[in-house]
Amino acid sequence: MSEAIEQVRNLGPKTAAALAEVGIRSRADLEAAGAVEAYLRLKARAGNVSLNALYAMQAGLMDVDWRHLPDELKAALREAVDTPRR
C-alpha cells in the first residue's frame, strides 16, 4: 500500500489537503504526476501557491529536506513550471 500524502516528508497539512483536492492522495499519486504537474494542478485550482510547495513535493519524492535541494534543481523546477504547456 502506498504512503498517504499526509505522510510524505516536507508536506504540511494544508499542502496535503490541497493535493488531495486535485486527486493526489498518496505518494504513488505524487510519483505518477511528478512535482511539476502536481504544482501546476494546485496553481490551477488555488492560484496563489508558493514555490516552496513545489520544492517540498520534489524533496518529498527524494526523501530529503526541501531546504537542501540544490539551487540547480530549484532553478530547473522553476523553469519547468514557467514553460508553457502544449
What type of residue sits at position 81?
V
What does the pLDDT look like over 48-69, one tens digit per residue?
899 999 999 999 999 999 999 9
- Residues 83 and 28: their CA atoms lie apart, in Å, by 25
Residues 7, 63 contacting (CB under 8 angstroms): no
Domains of the chain with bracketed CATH = 5-82 (1.10.150.20)
> Residue 72: its pLDDT value, please?
97
- Residues 60 and 85: their CA atoms lie apart, in Å, by 24
Confidence of residue 47 (pLDDT cuts 50, 70, 90): confident
- Residues 8 and 30: their CA atoms lie apart, in Å, by 10
> Residue 37: its pLDDT value, please?
97
Dig out the grid coordinates for 79 from the structure: 523553469
Q: Please identify which residue in the block is written with the cell numbers 532553478.
A: 75
Is residue 84 over pLDDT 90? no
What does the pLDDT look like over 11-46, one tens digit per residue?
999 999 999 999 999 999 999 999 999 999 999 998
